[in-house]
Amino acid sequence: MKELLEEFGLRPSVWLLSMLVASIMAIYRIFEKDPIPGTSEIVKICLGTVICVILVPGIVYYAFKIDNPFIIAACTALCVHRFEKYLRKAQKQFDEKLNMEEDGKVN
């Protein structure tokens, strides 16, 4: 496992801290709503968490040259908490782009 994590270029402690913080944020997102969400909503939250844990630490490390594991974990937690909002925004922009192409406004 250590060799696999090191192949991504980050120390295992960074990944583990990011996983821990992301798990806490996922549990918070599940239980923050008054009625506990249904199974499909919980699966969406868990998949979003896994995607964030896989992508965010590497992106923060390589794009912003940040090597502090606590800052990387905080960025991961923020992305886990706001994942659905980012996903909806990206989907809206993608839909607008498709509609513009169908109307012939974009070359």
- What percentage of the chain reaches a pLDDT higher than 70? 91
pLDDT in the model for residue 23: 93
Each residue of 5-21: pLDDT tens digit? 667 677 888 888 999 99
Determine the average pLDDT of the residues in 26-48: 88
Q: In the numeric block, which tokens belong to residue 84?
A: 């659905």
Residue 61 to residue 46: CA distance in whole angstroms: 23
Alpha-helical (H) ranges within 1-107 are 2-7, 12-31, 39-64, 69-81, 83-103
Task: Give me the pLDDT at residue 22, please.
Answer: 92
The more confidently predicted of residues 3 and 52 is: 52
